Amino acid sequence: MIHLGRWQNALPRTSRMPECAKAFECWGQHWTEMDSALGKTIELKQVLEPVGRYFGQPLRFYRKYERENLRPDLMAGITVAVIMLPQAIAFALIAELPPEMGLYAAVVGSIVGALWG
């Protein structure tokens, strides 16, 4: 059963557990039932505020970064690259993909991890 906390008993019985074969596709329908059952409207500001905070994380990180950590961070990055690049190529080949795909995944994953890690 899906746990909804304090709203569990406020929902109609049909909304508590979707009986669809593809539960994730039909959950949106049940979400609107839950929303109407609660009588709550969601404002755009409530949705966009956490998104703005999330995408502002790299900027906040850059402002707080201490310059004396640059050298150890570069050494750690080079060490990770030396290990990760051959590993990424090997995983791509195991998955029967071109080696470039492993490199793309490694580079994009590293950038995202560095900015939002």
The sign of the dihedral angle between the CA atoms of 13, 18, 21, 25 is positive
pLDDT of residue 72: 93
Q: What is the pLDDT of residues 46-85, one digit of tens each?
A: 878 888 888 888 888 888 889 899 999 999 989 998 999 9
Q: What is the pLDDT of residues 87-114, one digit of tens each?
A: 999 999 999 999 999 999 999 988 888 8
pLDDT of residue 83: 93
Q: What is the pLDDT of residues 18-54, one digit of tens each?
A: 454 445 555 555 555 555 556 666 778 887 888 888 8
CA–CA distance, 56 with 52 (Å, rounded to integer): 6
